[in-house]
Amino acid sequence: MTPTVAALVEATLALATVDSGSAADVVASAAPLLVEFPFQRNYITSIVRVSLYVSLTAVALATLASVPVALLVGFVDFPGKRLVVAVINTGMGFPSVVVGLLVLVLVSNQGPLGPLDLVFTKEAMIMSQFVLAWPVITGVSLAAVTSVEDGVRDAARAMGGTRVDVALVTVKEARYGIVTGVLAGVGRAISEVGSVFIVGGNIASADGTSITRTLTTAIQLEARQGRFETAMVLGAILLVLVLGVNAIVLRLGDQRGGR
Residues within the interface to other proteins (CB under 8 A): 149, 151-152, 154-162, 165, 169, 172-173, 259
| Least separation in angstroms between CB 151 and other proteins | 4
Q: Quick one: 22 or 162, whose CB is closer to other proteins?
A: 162
Q: Identity (one letter) of the amino acid at 166? A: V
Q: Quick one: 81 or 175, whose CB is closer to other proteins?
A: 175
Q: How far apart are CA 248 and CA 246, in angstroms?
A: 5
Q: Quick one: 16 or 164, whose CB is closer to other proteins?
A: 164
Q: Quick one: 153 or 213, whose CB is closer to other proteins?
A: 153
| Least separation in angstroms between CB 153 and other proteins | 9
| Least separation in angstroms between CB 209 and other proteins | 41
**What is the full DSSP assignment across 37-96?**
--S-HHHHHHHHHHHHHHHHHHHHHHHHHHHHHHHHHHH---TTHHHHHHHHHHHHT--H
| Least separation in angstroms between CB 160 and other proteins | 4
Q: Quick one: 157 or 227, whose CB is closer to other proteins?
A: 157
| Least separation in angstroms between CB 251 and other proteins | 17
